[in-house]
Amino acid sequence: MGLINFGNQVNSVSAIGGSPDDQVLDLGLYFGSMTLMLKLVGVQASTSGVKVKMETSMNVKLGDWVSLGNFTTVTTASSFDKQTFTNLLRYVRWNVFDLGGATNVTFILSGIARNP
């Protein structure tokens, strides 16, 4: 089992898209699943909900990311969701695909990875 922490800090996002390169995790081929908690820390402007999904890839240079699944939409500061994702490839990242009208959101994403 291993601890996962995307960025070791609060992540600030003002546009949709995948995590920055320094937050793409190389899990090697050691882990088959991960359980993560997404906690919305702050929202600038009103939002109908922030939508985040997790993605996986074997080669980050090719940009071939496959969706692992979505978190439940989070709408207010201090709201959170926990999800388990399986069938991991070597790399994983988060992807904010809808800000729901917010101009900026901040969140924490952390959890654990498990051996198959």
Per-residue pLDDT at 29: 86
Q: Closest by alpha carbon to 11, among 2, 1, 26, 22? A: 22
- Long-range pairs, 66-72, Cβ under 8 A, ≥24: 68/92, 71/36, 71/38
Mean pLDDT, rounded, for 15-26: 93
Q: Closest by alpha carbon to 107, among 33, 37, 21, 4? A: 37
Residues forming a β-bridge with 82: 37
83 vs 4, higher pLDDT:
83
Mean pLDDT, rounded, for 18-45: 92
**23 within 8 A of 11, measured Cβ to Cβ:** yes
The CATH classification number of 2-114 equals: 2.60.120.1110
Residues forming a β-bridge with 85: 34
What integer best gives the mean pLDDT of the chain? Answer: 92
**67 within 8 A of 54, measured Cβ to Cβ:** yes
Residue ranges per domain, the chain? Answer: 2-114
